[in-house]
Amino acid sequence: MSPLRSTLLLTAMILAGEDFAEAQQSKANYDEARVGSYTLPEALVLADGSAVKTAGDWTQRRRPEVLKLYQDHVYGRVPVGLGAPAFQVKAVKKDALGGKATRKLIQITLPSCPAWEGIELMLYTPNAATGPVPCVAGLSFGGNHAVSPETDIPLSTRWMRPNKEKGIVDNRATEASRGNESSRWPLALILDQGFAVATAYYGDIEPDHAEGWKTGLRGLTAKDGTATVWNNGDWGAISAWAWGLSRILDCLETETAVDAKRCAVIGHSRLGKTSLWAGAQDERFAFVISNNSGEGGAALMRRNFGETTAVITKAFPHWFTPTYTSYANNEAACPVDQHLLIALAAPRPIYIGSAVEDEWADPKGEFLSGYHASPVYALFDHPGVGTDQQPGIDTPVGGRIGYHVRNGGHDVKDYDWQQYLAFARKNGL
């Protein structure tokens, strides 16, 4: 096949997944009366039927069981033997953002896999700090040049999803792409509150389309290269992206300006699913934040409201381990539901941010995950969301599990950040 033809086919395929999901949005159920009844898997019962009564029972017995269920049935397992990453500081700017911050660009690579170009990490630390600061780490959709308003950041050269409005031409960023994600990353607001920001482009780890693994970390580290067939339990793209977040945390542990023991992990939408899974697996993340993560993230899969398992596994099969597809229209057979993903963060603080117009992500289902995870937090004497009623718009609730439903649609707003940072401080970060 000619290169042009294969590029066109690939573009058509990627658009087909995104378009399919979008077309389903108008056909989904948004009627609470039609959600139907469901029974959630028990958080506090072990596979052998015995009860989880103490924090120790959870940590030593139930948590490992639930983690394994998520690996086997939802996101898949990171292969062993990838080894430790290496870090190389590429650039340091001490008067970034008008003198407010120091900006470092650091390349994170994997010595066991030289074919993988690695992650370009962008780290901002507040210059006003008098000691190591807490940090918020998260992946972006558009790359560092899209997150930052600063125009001296190298444009990402990686593959990007087609998007004319964001200045993506032939799957590559252009000068017109600069700053197009900056409203979602209010750097000054975050730095002024004494937090560092660590971010990287998710496509550095794997391009986000059904065949992205071939040129991403999953394909490059596979023993049989691009001929790999993914089996049940193998990692999907969300697992690969989450792995990248943990490598960012490895790097932050070597940065003296950052207190890596106070590092939050954040993500929006598909990257919110990713931050939840990263926080579930890597207990070094001290605080887990999900922004509008929806189906496959914070929303209960058994609730038929907004996006469904059938839609997500058809549109984005590469995000999950193949097993997950078998739960399309068959959610009751899945041994987990998403309250258990929230519970995997226990006893660390976790925050679930919804938006009222983002019905596709099922705001109420996101609240209910937090609600049904609360008994696990109670084992640690921590309050969970603290209410069985989804709160009103712009009314944050919660003790150790935070929740709000913001005015507006699917996005990350200053309001969201203000709640996340206040909650972080309240919970000791």
Interface residues with ligand GCU (CB under 6 A) are: 21, 269-270, 294-295, 307, 312, 360
| In the complex, minimum distance from the CB of residue 404 to ligand GCU, in angstroms, rounded to a whole number | 18
Locate 110 and state its tokens: 């994997």
Round to whole Å and give the CA distance between 259 and 4. Answer: 48
Annotation says 269 is catalytic: yes
Which one is catalytic: 269, 275, 354, 374? 269
Locate 28 and state its tokens: 């989904």
Nearer to ligand GCU, 105 or 278 (CB): 278
Nearer to ligand GCU, 21 or 155 (CB): 21
Annotation says 382 is catalytic: no
Cβ atoms of residues 116 and 152 within 8 Å: no
Cβ atoms of residues 412 and 355 within 8 Å: no
| In the complex, minimum distance from the CB of residue 18 to ligand GCU, in angstroms, rounded to a whole number | 7
| In the complex, minimum distance from the CB of residue 108 to ligand GCU, in angstroms, rounded to a whole number | 23
Cβ atoms of residues 332 and 406 within 8 Å: no
| In the complex, minimum distance from the CB of residue 168 to ligand GCU, in angstroms, rounded to a whole number | 15
Q: Which distant-in-sequence residues (6+ apart) come within 8 Å of 353 by Cβ?
A: 289, 290, 291, 292, 403, 404, 406, 416, 419, 420
Nearer to ligand GCU, 212 or 294 (CB): 294
Nearer to ligand GCU, 257 or 265 (CB): 265
Cβ atoms of residues 354 and 292 within 8 Å: yes
DSSP calls for 123-135:
EEEETT-SS-EEE
Ranges of beta strands (E only) in 206-315 are 258-268, 287-291
| In the complex, minimum distance from the CB of residue 132 to ligand GCU, in angstroms, rounded to a whole number | 33
**Which of 296, 267, 290, 265 has its CA nearest to residue 360?**
296
Nearer to ligand GCU, 251 or 299 (CB): 299
The phi and psi torsions of 135 (rounded to 5 degrees) equal -140, 150
Write out the catalytic residue numbers. 269, 410
